[in-house]
Amino acid sequence: MFIWFLIKMSDEYISEIKIPVSYENEPIDKLLVNADDYVTVRLRAMGGNVFSEKFFSGHESVILNLKQADIRKSRYFDKYYILTDNLKDRISHRFDYDHDIMSIDPDTLFLEFEEIISKSVKIKTRINVSCKPQYQVYDSIIISPQEVIISGPSSVIDTIRNIYSISENYTDLDKNLETMLALSLPLNDNKISYSETEVKLNVPVEKYTESSIELPVMGSSNDTAIRIRTFPESVQLTYQVAIKDYKLVKPDMFFISAYFDTEKDKEKKLIKVKVHKSPEFIKITRIHPDKVEFLIQK
């Protein structure tokens, strides 16, 4: 029986071998999203080689370099294709024994690509900041850069509107905070690339003090024929200010008024005091009184 098997293995046979196909070096502006991944080769070879190929070869794949392959665009479909007849030499080199390739099925490998695009996306932080007593965040929290460039398949990139940071809590601050803040990337996929994976975070912190200033109240009305006089004629405005800016506060930086509407306020005895102008670097905590009596003068 064994001798018969050896005799048969020395005979020439025609057989079909299924071979995996893999692809490398995609075009820089395209992503391969779908492609035929097998070809069936009909070849003539010695029985022993065919037997070994089918049961012991490990199904080694044929690798196609897409930068070198003769890729053609279909005129009828939104697809590209490669004629497998052009791959005979490459496939033939895979076999290390005498053989004759009779045919390759399918005769065409179809490939589907998706365009790779890039766009700039705003970064939004997810942080909570708190300071020690008497300390506050001064001015604006700054991140750098403020945008990230993402690249990938258009069907994916078009759906991304913002990139967020990871969630972080910063507590008991009493000085400026400078640190790196990681981004929470929406898609951890090798098909997507990001120009940044973290940003520099700057939280300016200053010590604050409370102060107050007495300011005149300007009476006004929607009727230009009358003049509004308020009682009292001035109010006390209390505010918080960074110690370094304390001496910068001047009365002419403020404008406070009490507005009388001839229709809405005609039955009222008090009208509300409003701050229309104040320095950007202070935080107003209260106005006393916040409503004033008024006298209409014609």
Taking only the tens place, the pLDDT of each residue in 109-139 is 888 888 888 999 999 999 999 999 999 999 8
pLDDT at 53: 54
pLDDT at 6: 39
CA 25/CA 117 separation, integer angstroms: 18
pLDDT at 144: 96
Higher pLDDT residue, 128 or 86?
A: 128
Question: In the structure, what pLDDT confidence band is assigned to residue 51 with cuts at 50, 70 and 90?
Answer: very low
Helices 47-56 and 2-9 meet at what angle, rounded to 10?
100
Question: In the structure, what pLDDT confidence band is assigned to residue 214 with cuts at 50, 70 and 90?
Answer: very high
- 230-236 own/partner pairs: CB under 8 Å, 24+ apart: 230/258, 230/271, 230/292, 230/293, 230/294, 230/295, 231/292, 231/293, 231/294, 231/295, 232/289, 232/292, 235/273, 235/287, 235/288, 235/289, 235/290, 235/292, 236/212, 236/287, 236/288
Q: Which CATH superfamily is domain 116-203 in?
A: YbbR-like domain (2.170.120.40)
pLDDT at 100 over 80: no
- Sign of torsion over alpha carbons 240, 244, 245, 246: positive
pLDDT tens sequence across 249-277: 999 999 999 999 998 988 899 999 999 99
Interacting residues of 177 by C-beta distance below 8 A, sequence separation 6+: 129, 170, 201, 202, 203, 205
Question: In the structure, what pLDDT confidence band is assigned to residue 77 with cuts at 50, 70 and 90?
Answer: low
pLDDT at 158: 85
Question: In the structure, what pLDDT confidence band is assigned to residue 224 with cuts at 50, 70 and 90?
Answer: confident
Lowest mean pLDDT among 50-59, 95-104, 142-151, 175-184: 50-59
Lowest mean pLDDT among 68-82, 154-168, 173-187, 188-202: 68-82
Burial class (CB in 10 A: 0-12, 13-18, 19+), 230: buried
Interacting residues of 25 by C-beta distance below 8 A, sequence separation 6+: 65, 66, 67, 68
What's the mean pLDDT in 38-61? 60
- Residue 138 near residue 109 (C-beta atoms within 8 A): no
In the chain, % of residues over pLDDT 90: 47
pLDDT at 93 over 90: no
Strands 62-65 and 12-24: parallel
Higher pLDDT residue, 181 or 14?
A: 181
pLDDT at 23 over 80: yes
The first and second tokens of residue 295, run together, are: 């006298």
pLDDT at 37: 85
SS3 253: helix
SS3 233: coil
CA 278/CA 292 separation, integer angstroms: 20
Higher pLDDT residue, 102 or 39?
A: 39
Which of the following CATH numbers is that of domain 209-297: 3.40.50.720, 1.10.3720.10, 3.40.50.620, 2.170.120.30? 2.170.120.30
CA 53/CA 95 separation, integer angstroms: 9
CB atoms within 10 A of CB 243: 11
- Residue 62 near residue 39 (C-beta atoms within 8 A): yes
Residues of the chain with CATH 2.170.120.40: 116-203
